[in-house]
């Protein structure tokens, strides 16, 4: 076996046999599924809580408008003063008291109405009450204009604009978001992987320094070989872990779903991406044909292309970042000294995720999205958010993809070269507190 192969094998086994790795591998899916179930459960509780609002209506209007719903119910007070009503609302621990004073017109009443609550009211309650007044007032004015309630009801429609591309393909509302969500899932995966396994690489380097074995090893192999072996071995361990997770998580999810008989819909909406996109959208548009369209669109997302480029960006992005992590590990003597160096590398990752979610979702091909998908430290995440929209016309222009990968490759070579230099010097430095200035000096050794 080649030396690199030996190193990869050792690093892999050292990682995989580690007790905490084994525990994490088997505990995580349970935690993950537990979390999903918990979220689904909490969401249900949250929805089912009914808020009781007392209504003291001294006017002649709105008397029929306060109908209870699942999330809100009303208790109508009669023949009591405002103070008495307030007291009894507090005593009975109602959510609040809506007070409608006397008034000549519905409008007058609405304008002088008040909601009293213990704390600032949540927006759901206020929106609902606003809506009651708004609907009533609108109806009132329409009546004044000569529109009957029946006519009004027939006017009120649920309308959605249908859109098409110039080629005549039907577009669906929220499809860009959905696609970005899928890409975002991939991007998020890359970020998590980099942060977790980059950290492992770093700790492994520090361990070799503190156990003083490093010089024994680099008298046999090149520091670069050791660094790459470590990065590759650790990431293979990570991939193993991911594979186990995906497999066992889906197994568990399936088991729990069939065991508890929970609606898959409820689970999905709380589950990992891209689940929420799908179920939310289908919930909004329950019509079968729409669902079919979304399903078709999902099928039309170029999965093969996406997974291929996921691999490309994943490998390059991970190698760039983990070699920086390796260099950091080499530069310090113990883990507590790493903080000052870690923040600057997590920063672009966070930036990529946030820019991705806020900017790429809205407009996958806008200038910000394009810029960040070209910039090498963010492109692995941002470009993957754009790619589900397709390549070429209507999607990511080929030149952007090529340029992005080219820049990433150049950066990869540059960063690995720099990191290897720092690594080479750093692993033999003991007791020296590394500063950025010091690191810069090492580059010239």
Q: CB under 8 A: which stretch of 106-114, 210-218, 231-239, 281-289 binds other proteins?
A: 210-218
- Under the binding rule (CB under 8 A), the answer on residue 3 touching other proteins is yes
Size of residue set near other proteins by CB under 8 A: 27
Q: CB under 8 A: which stretch of 43-51, 158-166, 205-213, 383-391 binds other proteins?
A: 205-213
205 CB burial (10 A radius; 0-12, 13-18, 19+): buried
Task: Tell me how far, at minimum, the Cβ of 414 lies from other proteins, in Å.
Answer: 21
218 neighbors 229 (Cβ within 8 angstroms) = no
CA distance 318 to 381: 11
Element (H, E) at 313: helix 303-331
Task: Tell me how far, at minimum, the Cβ of 227 lies from other proteins, in Å.
Answer: 14
- Under the binding rule (CB under 8 A), the answer on residue 24 touching other proteins is no
Strands of the 72-77 sheet, one edge to the other = 72-77, 51-57, 96-100, 114-117
With CB under 8 A as the contact rule, the residue among 102, 127, 169, 215 that binds other proteins is 215
With CB under 8 A as the contact rule, the residue among 10, 128, 203, 365 that binds other proteins is 10
- Under the binding rule (CB under 8 A), the answer on residue 203 touching other proteins is no
In the bound state with other proteins, the residue whose beta carbon lies nearer, of 9 and 51, is 9
With CB under 8 A as the contact rule, the residue among 27, 311, 428, 443 that binds other proteins is 428
With CB under 8 A as the contact rule, the residue among 16, 24, 132, 218 that binds other proteins is 218
337 neighbors 351 (Cβ within 8 angstroms) = no
- Under the binding rule (CB under 8 A), the answer on residue 128 touching other proteins is no
| DSSP letters for 326-378 | HHHHHH-SSGGGGHHHHHHHHHHHHHHHHHIIIIITT-TTSHHHHHHHHSTTT
In the bound state with other proteins, the residue whose beta carbon lies nearer, of 1 and 45, is 1
169 neighbors 323 (Cβ within 8 angstroms) = no
Task: Tell me how far, at minimum, the Cβ of 424 lies from other proteins, in Å.
Answer: 8
Task: Tell me how far, at minimum, the Cβ of 6 lies from other proteins, in Å.
Answer: 5
With CB under 8 A as the contact rule, the residue among 211, 289, 334, 336 that binds other proteins is 211
- Under the binding rule (CB under 8 A), the answer on residue 444 touching other proteins is yes
- Under the binding rule (CB under 8 A), the answer on residue 219 touching other proteins is yes
Beta strand 114-117 pairing with 96-100: antiparallel
234 neighbors 11 (Cβ within 8 angstroms) = yes
- Under the binding rule (CB under 8 A), the answer on residue 69 touching other proteins is no
In the bound state with other proteins, the residue whose beta carbon lies nearer, of 417 and 430, is 430
Q: Quick one: tokens of 395?
A: 């999607």
CA distance 320 to 325: 9
CA distance 236 to 242: 10
Nearest 5°: phi and psi at 70? -60, -35
- Under the binding rule (CB under 8 A), the answer on residue 445 touching other proteins is yes
Q: CB under 8 A: which stretch of 151-159, 168-176, 221-229, 315-323 binds other proteins?
A: 221-229
In sign, the C-alpha dihedral spanning 339, 208, 222, 192 is negative
- Under the binding rule (CB under 8 A), the answer on residue 138 touching other proteins is no
- Under the binding rule (CB under 8 A), the answer on residue 216 touching other proteins is yes
156 neighbors 317 (Cβ within 8 angstroms) = no
- Under the binding rule (CB under 8 A), the answer on residue 236 touching other proteins is no
| DSSP letters for 85-107 | HHHHHHHTT-SEEEEE---SSHH
In the bound state with other proteins, the residue whose beta carbon lies nearer, of 4 and 257, is 4
Task: Tell me how far, at minimum, the Cβ of 420 lies from other proteins, in Å.
Answer: 14
Binding site for other proteins (CB under 8 A): 1, 3, 6-7, 10, 14, 18, 207-208, 211-223, 428, 430, 441, 444-445
């Amino acid at each position: 076996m080649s030396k690199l192969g030996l190193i990869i094998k050792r690093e892999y086994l050292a990682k995989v046999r580690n007790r905490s790795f084994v525990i994490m591998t088997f505990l995580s899916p349970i935690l993950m599924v537990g979390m999903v179930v918990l979220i689904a459960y909490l969401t249900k509780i949250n929805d089912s809580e009914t808020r009781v609002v007392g209504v003291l209506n001294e006017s002649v209007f709105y008397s029929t408008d306060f109908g209870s719903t699942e999330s809100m119910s009303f208790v109508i007070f009669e023949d009591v003063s405002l103070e008495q009503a307030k007291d009894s609302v507090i005593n009975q621990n109602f959510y609040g008291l809506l007070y409608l004073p006397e008034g000549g017109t519905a409008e007058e009443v609405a304008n002088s109405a008040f909601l009293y609550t213990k704390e600032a009211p949540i927006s759901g309650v206020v929106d609902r009450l606003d809506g009651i007044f708004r609907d009533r007032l609108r109806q009132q004015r329409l009546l004044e204009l000569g529109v009957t309630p029946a006519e009004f009801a027939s006017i009120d429609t649920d309308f959605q604009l249908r859109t098409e591309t110039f080629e005549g393909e039907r577009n669906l509302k929220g499809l860009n978001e959905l696609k970005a969500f899928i890409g975002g899932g991939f991007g998020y995966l890359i970020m998590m992987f980099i942060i977790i396994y980059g950290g492992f690489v770093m700790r492994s380097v520090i361990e070799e320094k503190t156990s003083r074995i490093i010089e024994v090893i680099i008298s046999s192999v090149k520091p670069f070989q050791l660094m790459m072996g470590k990065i590759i071995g650790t990431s293979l361990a990570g991939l193993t872990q991911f594979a186990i997770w995906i497999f066992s998580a889906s197994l568990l999810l399936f088991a729990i779903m069939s065991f508890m008989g929970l609606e898959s819909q409820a689970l999905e909406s709380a589950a990992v991406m891209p689940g929420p996109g799908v179920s939310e959208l289908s919930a909004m548009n329950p019509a079968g044909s729409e669902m079919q369209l979304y399903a078709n669109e999902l099928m039309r997302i170029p999965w093969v292309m996406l997974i291929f480029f996921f691999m490309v960006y994943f490998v390059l992005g991970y190698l760039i970042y983990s070699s920086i992590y390796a260099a950091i590990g080499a530069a310090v003597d113990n883990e507590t000294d790493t903080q000052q160096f870690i923040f600057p590398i997590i920063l672009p990752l966070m930036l990529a995720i946030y820019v991705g979610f806020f900017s790429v979702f809205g407009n996958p091909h806008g200038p910000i999205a394009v810029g960040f998908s070209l910039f090498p430290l963010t492109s692995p995440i941002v470009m993957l958010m754009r790619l589900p929209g397709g390549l070429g016309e209507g999607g990511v222009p080929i030149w952007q993809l090529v340029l992005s990968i080219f820049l990433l490759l150049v950066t990869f070579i540059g960063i690995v070269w720099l990191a290897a230099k720092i690594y080479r010097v750093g692993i033999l430095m003991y007791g020296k507190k590394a500063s950025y200035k010091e690191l810069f000096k090492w580059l010239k050794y």
